[in-house]
Amino acid sequence: MTLTLTPGEATLGQLEEIWREGRAAVLDDAARPAIDAAADLVRAAAEGDEAVYGVNTGFGKLASVRIKPGDTARLQRNLILSHCCGVGEVLDVPATRLMMVLKLLSAGRGASGITWQTLSVIEKMLAKGVTPVVPSQGSVGASGDLAPLAHMAAAMIGEGEAEFEGVRLPAADALAKAGIEPAVLAPKEGLGLINGTQFSTACSLAGYFSAIRNLEASVVSSCLSTDAIMGSTAPLEAGIHVFRGHRGQIDVAAAMRAVMHGSEIRESHRSGDTRVQDPYCIRCQPQVAGAALDLLRFAGRTLEIEANAVSDNPLVLVDEGKIVSGGNFHAEPVAFAADQIAIAIAEIGAIAQRRVALMVDPSLSFDLPPFLTPEPGLNSGLMIAEVTTAALMSENKHLANPCSTDSTPTSANQEDHVSMAAHGARRLKRMNDNLNVIIGVELLCAAQGVEFRAPLRTSPALENAITLIRRDIASLAEDRFMAGDLARAARIVSDGRLQSEIGVADLLAGGAQ
């Protein structure tokens, strides 16, 4: 199904559908008058005598060079080709399509001067599955994501490469096979297409969507771990969290209470438990995951605003009859959001890894067998799976160092402070992939630990979680080749089956009692 988007009003839910499900998107027809009005103003400026940046002048440090009226179309084409300087790994198809949709939304506000005809080329490419090949390195996050967006724009005019029906081929051939006429750029259109934050924002949104899913899975894994070690649930009492007052903490604690409701393991040790307090990785999960949730929610709101923003330059102010240079291309809000998401990902993984260590360590795991194997010594059990989580946790800590505090002057010092938003956004996929594994291993350890508590049973919700895990991964009786188990556990987390089975998203949204 194709989504019809209203510029300025696209929601995180719509953008996640586009990213996860490969939905095509078109602009609401109501956006056309504003788009046409801006394009008309640009056309008039291109034919006039007054110098207007990017319309009849060069770019960046070359802004003082005037371009003849007959050369304005060539100017835009040259701009696209000269800026196709991306290198490195190719951006994945879902994120590339999301980037294209974000460009539609931005230009659809009617302040970029890009024509309806050119924007329709993006719509057709989305509908037919023609995806530009976009190298992921080369942007510093101002003056916009120039190199990545240039590769997108190049495919639109039949230059560079594109993927079509699973095959990478010259963009002109891909467009022809799909029955799409290449765009012919009008004045300012090349600049409008490559100037903006859409690459950084698309990658940050993908990181945000995956981080939320990982956090939801960590709610389930932490509950399962708590039952595995026969931990106390007193720290989940609502009054504790209300006194603190942070919304995320309150929501995580409520969700955990709901997920653990009805656990025989929990009930078995409510009275007579000699342990006064559990380690922080059990006791403080609401505080840590709740703080991460608050951070992610804030970042998500920032990215939703940016997804609907006009972030190119110059902007066409139709009501004032002006084309004005500004700095909306500077991706500092996106860089900050990406850094916040990275910190949240790192901390969700850090506390989950400590729960893994808690369960496998015979000196800490409260009568569970060493390394969760029924015959320790002959078998190593989950010993090295825990080491893997430690390695990934440490890697994520390094990756979480802020990118937004870095800057380097570019373009002959015209662009003397940049955001590094693209750096901050690109690392989020790697970090989320690492976190998938950490939480997946926690689920394996916790499921194994709960099974050692038989005949006591965990909660109905957590029993459903264990059943789902065991469909793909058998209990560990004897040592076996483990890499496949870890990969399957990570997929259970990344594809959202576990979270969906228990309805964690609804619980975190306030459905928990």
Does residue 372 carry a pLDDT above 80? yes
Q: For the chain, give the mean pLDDT.
A: 94
CATH topology for 3-196 is: Fumarase C; Chain B, domain 1 (1.10.275)
Lowest mean pLDDT among 55-59, 119-123, 375-379, 437-441: 55-59
Does residue 1 carry a pLDDT above 60? yes
Question: Which homologous superfamily is 206-307+347-511 in?
Answer: Fumarase/aspartase (Central domain) (1.20.200.10)
Peptide bond preceding 460: is omega within 30 degrees of 0, i.e. cis? no
Q: Domain spans of the chain? A: 3-196, 206-307+347-511
pLDDT band (50, 70, 90) for residue 52: confident
- Region 83-103: mean pLDDT is 98
For residues 418 and 66, the model is more confident at 418
* Burial class of residue 40 (count of CB atoms within 10 Å of its CB; 0-12, 13-18, 19+): middle
d(CA 309, CA 413): 26
Does residue 161 carry a pLDDT above 90? yes
Does residue 274 carry a pLDDT above 60? no
DSSP, residue by residue, 227-269: HHTT---GGG-HHHHHHH--HHHHHHHHHHHHHHTT-HHHHHT
d(CA 80, CA 192): 10
Task: Exactly one of 53, 164, 209, 329 is catalytic; name it.
Answer: 53
Model pLDDT, residue 503: 96
Q: Of 245, 195, 255, give the one whose Cα is nearest residue 222.
A: 255
Token couple for 237:
């009492």
Query: What's the number of CA atoms in the CB half-sphere (13 Å) around residue 97?
Result: 26
Model pLDDT, residue 513: 42
Please state the pTM of the whole predicted model: 0.95
Do residues 26 and 123 make contact, with C-beta atoms less than 8 angstroms apart? yes
pLDDT band (50, 70, 90) for residue 512: very low
Phi then psi for 452, rounded to 5 degrees? -70, -15
d(CA 221, CA 498): 10
Annotation says 280 is catalytic: no
Q: Which of left, alpha, beta for 68 (phi over 0: left; psi -120 to 50: alpha)?
A: beta
Do residues 176 and 164 make contact, with C-beta atoms less than 8 angstroms apart? no
Rg, Å, the chain Cα set:
26
Model pLDDT, residue 218: 98
d(CA 292, CA 432): 14
What one-character DSSP code corresponds to residue 57?
A: B
SS3 500: helix
Do residues 433 and 212 make contact, with C-beta atoms less than 8 angstroms apart? no
What are the tens digits of pLDDT across the range 445-470? Answer: 999 999 999 999 999 999 999 999 99
Q: Residue 214: count other Cβ atoms within 10 Å of its Cβ.
A: 29
d(CA 335, CA 12): 18
Sign of CA dihedral 474, 476, 481, 485: positive
d(CA 447, CA 433): 21
d(CA 459, CA 267): 10
Q: Pairing between strand 167-170 and 322-324?
A: unpaired
Tell me the H-state helices in 48-197. 72-82, 93-107, 116-128, 146-156, 171-178, 189-194
